[in-house]
Amino acid sequence: SRRPSIYYRPINPNDLDRLEQIHRDIFPIKYESEFFQSVVNGVGIVSWAAVDRSRPDGHCDELIGFVTAKFVLAKESEIDDLICYDSSQGEETLIYILTLGVVESYRNHGIAMSLISGVIRYASGLSLCRGVYLHVIAYNNPAIRLYNRLMFRCVRRLNGFYLIKRQHFDAFLFVYFVNGS
């Protein structure tokens, strides 16, 4: 069989339909169309895509994985108490990961690991950025293993954070500190 040849690139407006479809397929939560518009147009959102260049024409640039994130002011975040504030250069920020996904047939190849490592590298390059954080539903073991392996720290368990089909589920809050926080 073909050997996948994974490339990482920014998400662009041509990715809209595929991005929506994958979100629908793999997340239990519904995302509004404004969210997808903001992602593909890069309005207040930073994102990266994974594609498999070895796929036949017409598919070689199609999303097979993605990560989406937004900037949050550290002071206004729910982990404001965990941040070290020492800057006279401006306001400290955090990157909050909104969604991360890899289509099923491409899992267990390290693609999510590369996507999240890319976010950490990006955050580390921004001197005012103090960390990358996210919520994960408490039963999502593959995702939790991934964040643990990447040395994220689990700093909170949030009771009933997610409401899915009228049922509450706990979330873990994971943080990866950068730039001395």
Residues engaged in binding ligand ACO (CB under 6 A): 26, 97, 99-102, 107-113, 134, 136, 140, 142-143, 145-146
Q: Report long-range pairs for 137-140 (Cβ below 8 Å, ≥24 apart).
A: 137/28, 137/161, 137/162, 137/169, 137/170, 137/171, 138/169, 138/170, 138/171, 138/172, 139/169
Taking the complex as a whole, the smallest distance from the CB of residue 181 to ligand ACO amounts, in Å, to: 20
Taking the complex as a whole, the smallest distance from the CB of residue 125 to ligand ACO amounts, in Å, to: 21
User: Whose Cβ is closer to ligand ACO: residue 87's or residue 122's?
Assistant: 122
Tokens representing 62 are: 């199609």
Taking the complex as a whole, the smallest distance from the CB of residue 96 to ligand ACO amounts, in Å, to: 9
User: Whose Cβ is closer to ligand ACO: residue 91's or residue 160's?
Assistant: 160
User: Whose Cβ is closer to ligand ACO: residue 174's or residue 177's?
Assistant: 174
User: Whose Cβ is closer to ligand ACO: residue 101's or residue 131's?
Assistant: 101
The full length of the chain comes to 181
User: Whose Cβ is closer to ligand ACO: residue 65's or residue 181's?
Assistant: 65
Neighbours of 118 (CB within 10 A): 14
CA geometry: angle 169, 173, 177, nearest 5 deg: 170
Taking the complex as a whole, the smallest distance from the CB of residue 7 to ligand ACO amounts, in Å, to: 15
Cα distances from 44 to residues 36, 60, 71, 146, in angstroms, run 12, 28, 7, 26
| H or E segment to which residue 40 belongs | helix 33-41
Taking the complex as a whole, the smallest distance from the CB of residue 132 to ligand ACO amounts, in Å, to: 10
The Cα 13–Cα 41 span in angstroms is 6
